[in-house]
Structure 1
Amino acid sequence: MSDTQLWISVAAIFVLLVLSAFFSGSETALTAASRARMLQLEKSGNRRARVVSTLIAARERLIGALLLGNNLVNILASALATNVLLNVFGDAGVVYATLVMTMLVLIFSEVLPKTWAISRPDRFALAVSPIVRIVVGVFGPVVVAVEAIVRFILRLFGVDVTDGQAVLSAHEELRGTVDLQHMEGGLFKDERDRIGGLLDLKELEVSDVMVHRTKMMALNADDTAEKIVEEALKSPFTRLPLWRGQSDNFIGVLHAKDLLRALAKADGKADALEIEEIMTPPWFVPDTTSLQDQLNAFLKRKAHFALVIDEYGEVMGLVTLEDILEEIVGEIADEHDVEVPGLRPQPDGSVIVDGSVTIRDLNRATDWSLPDEEATTIAGLVIHEARMIPEERQVFTFYGFRFTVLRREKNRITRLRIMPLSETGKVFSIRQATPPMPKAATI
């Protein structure tokens, strides 16, 4: 081999290593590029972003074309390097070629370009997209044949990849992204909770957030107008359900503004009012309605209030637009809200909580992850796991927490102490902490 041929071969090896670095970096950048970011750039008129989106949409073909190009240039560079070193060192050139090419390919064609690409994936992908599009077009027929062979071989082993379906749904991908951003410090806890609450609307039902019938403030339509006006003015709520005859026979909803307008027309004389003319018909919704559907229904009907019924038509409680919005933005309080203390952190790290506090509210306040699939309130979770109505002072351990029943009224758990344990797990156990104490001495 002449000196001219030697230097031409060395120059060709250098060019091939550069091409190998291009293929490696392009593969990393295009697989790591943000599709959401590309979509935004595409909407703003960025043509390269449109090319990147098109390439990412056919990810399997893109990766196949880049791998094909990368292998071609690597194998050709290795062959040329072996030929050059054989002419220089004789038979020992094979060993030298292996060592030298391994080092060059590893450093300059793999680690360096991939590190560069992963540090700026979006910018790198936009820069290489025009050339990569040409590469995919040239190697397209070969890649299609390779894909067919690969699918056939995988099918022999019982693996079917023809569906091309994503493993995670869009909601799960968003939720995972939000949690990851929170772990890395990109989102504060409140921001994570708001986005998570928005994603949960489709999974939650009206019964999960409604005000239970035992806590509803309702008015008796058979009372005198003066008494109804008096109770309505004392109430912190704007909308009040009206019942007649039986406490579960709701006939309408009284709005405070409608009541005030009627009072103004009657010169403040409450006895001149006809309550049935002021009230509006009640709106009943099934308890299995998802919060997303109910929110859309509220917006469509321009209503803020609905009564929740079960499968037998019995009223279970009520739900308002505010109840749904609170699942997204957290507790909404105004100057008329009556705060009911339901969660009290203790110096020892435990939390004393009312049994009626919902699991979701507890998780949000403490950043825990107690399951809420089988129960809505924390008392319901304890009863579900215990498979019994616990006694006072009884202690349960499950999901990595110790639950102590502090107070029970009839069949309801009204107060608990929750202590997070060092080791988390779903092992359930039950023990009696102390012998039952006399009622006068219980907590």
Structure 2
Amino acid sequence: MAEEILKSLTLWLPGVSIMIALTVASAFFSGSETAVFSLTRDDLQGFRNGKPGEKQIVQLLIDPSRLLTAILFWNLVINLSYFAVSVVVSRRLLINGYDSVGWLLSIFGVVSIILFGEVLPKSLSVVIPGAISRLVVWPLSISVRMLDRVLPILAVITRGLTRGFWPKLQEETIIDAEDLEKAVDLSSQSSEMIANERIILHHILDLSEIAVEEIMRPRGTYLTVNEEAIWQDFGHSTPPGGFAAIVESGTDQVQGVFWMHGTIYSESKGLKSFRETVVYVPWCADAARTLSLIRAKLCHVAVVVDEYGQTIGLLTQQDLLDTILSTSPSRARRILKREAMLKIGDHTFHLDGLTTLRYLASHLGIDFDSDQEPSVTVAGLLHQNLRRFPEVGDEMLWQGWKLRVIDVTAPGRVRVLLEPGDNSFLQNTEGSE
């Protein structure tokens, strides 16, 4: 066998050299795919303020479909080329009477591309994705840009083939939120889902109906600092909510944040290492789109602005997750660290002005339609009804319940006593219970 291999050296050596080069190329794209897509959100957060190569990785992952298409395309071309060369070399050996060497090369070729072109690079990339990503980023970027010129042509060919072979092919109908909610409600009749799971599913679906104004942190409830802030300005501790908003000097316009939630301050890196960009959304944007935008832009905070472009509050990713995962999400509890609605007697409650009407209606068993309610919070409801800042003793009726202002600590910061509006309403409530 060894003698045959040496005699046939001129027949197989050029082809095997090409196969080795193609194996290295296959390993490059296989490892690149695993490494780049194994990076965690925290890794990418760090890369945003890192070296040029790290920033380029983040740029590539802004459009993951484009990146994955390029990797799979080039890997496919390389693998097809590899097996084409393998077939040509093996056939040449068989024609010249070196059957054993030809079969050996065929088996070696399959094992080699699987082991060295796929398994080993992917295994290594899973272990050290950051280092591999930094190593491959620039060649990978070039390959993606090269394919950008080809993709439009491939798209035209794909559409032509689709129309030719499947002229009646139609896109599947998108299931809307109402259909999903009905499915969740129907599933409650079986034992497949426990109560908390159903609640969380409803919260996820409700995100498309909740405006960010309902769950944001209003201006004045979070720490603001300037760009030149130092660790001592925070009192050597993580600020409430895990972040501090960076504002322009003399204004409330938020330019970025120092995001410190779940991290430990490092003197060597300084406060600048925690700086993050923010995204901007209008007050009427729904929570679902805002969460998608935050995740797509690899940040943690959305700045909520009014129709005049002024900052009216902030919404963090943690706030959105609390809205989804908490069985009874409450903005007042999240910001003020106390219950928004405190029961003090039969059908009598103390409310904080930050309590949302959606939260209040849910606890009182009242149907709530945000389109029919011009106000979002209890304080906003009082402003809308009184046409001025509430004062102690002010009263109003809402959905059969009487709201009476019992404390005012600042303009718009109120505590309210909630009780049934009249005895007949109390009797109806008791009867329904």
What's the TM-score, normalizing by structure 1? 0.46
What's the TM-score, normalizing by structure 2? 0.47
Bigger Cα Rg: 1
